[in-house]
Amino acid sequence: MDDLSLAADAAALWGGLILLLLLVLSGLVVRQRRRHRVAIGDDGIPELVRAQRAFGNAAEYAPAGLAALAVLAIAGASAGLVHVVGAVLFAGRVAHAVGLSMTAGVSLGRTAGMLLTWTAWLVAAVSLLFLAL
């Protein structure tokens, strides 16, 4: 396999895992909606609000990371770099979702999740700039 193929495989792995995470978080929203018989909105139910925000936050932050993984692979980044960025991004999104699912307040999971996500973004951004020059 050539380097581009290995990097593309790495991006596909992490992209697939992040999409599965989004699917799980979406399912948790549906479960809370059914449990509390809420068709739209959140009716002020804390568990539903947290489930919606866990999904919403992941849906807001994951696309930029997924795009970065794809562009890294296309731009010639090593598969190792794509794996590192993907793993850090995935860990950050999982940590944030778990932290937010447990409490709407400040939590270690939410804090670690955001720091990991931002770290993945920063490493990807700097790497893309380096690859472009």
**With 70 as the cut, is the pLDDT of residue 1 above it?**
no
97-114 residue pLDDT tens: 999 998 888 899 999 999
Mean pLDDT, range 59-84, rounded to an integer: 97
3-132: which CATH number, 3.40.109.10, 1.10.1760.20, 1.20.120.550, 3.30.420.140? 1.20.120.550
Q: Domain ranges in the chain?
A: 3-132
Among positive and negative, which fits the CA dihedral 6, 63, 85, 20?
Answer: negative
Closest by CA position to 123, among listed 80, 60, 74, 63: 80
Q: What is the pTM of this model?
A: 0.93
2-54 residue pLDDT tens: 777 999 999 999 999 999 999 999 999 999 999 999 999 999 999 999 999 99
